[in-house]
Each structure stands twice: as C-alpha cells, then as structure tokens.
C-alpha cells in the first residue's frame, strides 16, 4: 500500500504523454493565466479609461439635459437603449480582452487542443462527501487566501488610479458631449 504513494522516479514515455494530452490532462498553471489577464487588462484599462469616462459622461449629460422631460412608455425605450448602448461601449471591450487573454494564456502553456474526453460525464465526480472534503481542504484555503490577496491588491490599485484621476473626472462635468 505504501509503495503506491512513493514518487515516480522515471520520466513518462511519449505514449503516456500523448494519451494524457488526448484526455485533456496537461499541466496548466492558473497563476500564469491570472497574471497574464491582470497585467494586460490593466494596461488596456490604463489606455482606455478616458474613453470609458467619456462614454459615461455622455450618458450622464444626456440624462441631465433631459431631466425635465416627461418619462413615459413612448420615450422610455429610447432612454434605456441609449444608456445600455453606451454601457456596452465600455464593458464589451474589457470583457473581450479578458476572454482573449484567458484563452491566449491557456494556449501559450499547453498549445491548442480539444479533448472531448475531458467533457465526458462522470457520475463519480458528483460525490457530495468528496466535494465537501475538497471545499475544506488546505489547498482550497490557500487558493482562497491567494484570491483574496489578489482582489485586495487590485482594489487598492484601482482606488489609487481613480483617486489620482478625480480632478479630470470632476473637470468633465463642465464639458459638452
């Protein structure tokens, strides 16, 4: 029994590596993906934040211009469409770049691969006791701690960036759209 827990001393054969790849079992680091997404998303946002503020300002200016307008079924549709469209101009590029970067990080690590074997239904993975054990394990606690640290650091950087841009943000209120 204890022999099964010993480390393997020989390198895997090429056939075993190919079989594992066909099953979708390749070594991929989540930290590399996270680092790539955070780094390049931050760079993207740094250069696009002024465009985002301009789009938000257009929405707020439109609402301010039409503040005394009667809102009813006839014009509510136009108001909502205008706000949602401007919001999409801000959100879609950010989500798009995050999605592309996540895919690029995975492809950089393991190459492009498609495995239907990894998508097969396995009833053994629905064991609630094993799920609870995985939920309260040391590994999941470490992952939670790392995630919290990442979120706190990102929130700190975002707060500092926004606070440094407050004069610009307040200056936008006097501009035309």
pLDDT of residue 18: 74
pTM of the model: 0.56
**If you average pLDDT over residues 8-37, what whole number do you get?**
77
Average pLDDT of the residues of the chain: 80
From residue 166, alpha-carbon distances to 22, 55, 163 in Å are 52, 16, 5
156: pLDDT strictly greater than 90: yes
CA distance 143 to 97: 24
Percent of the chain, pLDDT > 70? 92
From residue 108, alpha-carbon distances to 30, 79, 138 in Å are 12, 44, 29
Pairwise pLDDT comparison (1 vs 43), residue with the higher score? 43
Nearest to 78 by CA among 63, 99, 94: 63
6 SS3 class: coil
126 SS3 class: helix
CA distance 68 to 76: 14
pLDDT of residue 7: 65
Alpha helices in the chain (DSSP H): 14-22, 30-65, 73-110, 128-135, 138-164, 166-171
For residue 99, name the pLDDT band (cuts at 50, 70, 90).
very high
56: pLDDT strictly greater than 70: yes
Per-residue pLDDT tens over the stretch 66-76:
777 777 777 78
| Other CB atoms within 10 Å distance of the CB of residue 53 | 15
1: pLDDT strictly greater than 50: no
pLDDT of residue 28: 76
CA distance 24 to 120: 11
């Amino acid at each position: 029994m204890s022999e099964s827990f010993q480390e393997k001393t020989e390198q895997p054969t090429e056939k075993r590596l190919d079989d594992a790849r066909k099953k979708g079992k390749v070594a991929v680091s989540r930290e590399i993906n996270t680092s790539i997404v955070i780094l390049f998303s931050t760079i993207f946002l740094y250069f696009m934040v002024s465009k985002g503020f301009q789009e938000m300002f257009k929405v707020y200016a439109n609402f301010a211009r039409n503040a005394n307008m009667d809102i009813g079924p006839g014009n509510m549709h136009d108001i909502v469409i205008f706000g949602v469209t401007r919001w999409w101009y801000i959100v879609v590029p950010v989500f798009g770049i995050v999605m592309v970067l996540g895919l690029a990080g995975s492809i950089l690590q393991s190459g492009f691969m498609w495995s239907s074997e990894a998508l097969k239904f396995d009833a053994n993975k629905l064991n609630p006791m094993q799920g609870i054990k995985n939920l309260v394990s040391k590994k999941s606690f470490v992952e939670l701690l790392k995630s919290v640290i990442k979120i706190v650091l990102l929130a700190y950087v975002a707060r500092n960036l926004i606070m440094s841009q407050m004069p610009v943000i307040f200056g936008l209120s006097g501009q035309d759209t």
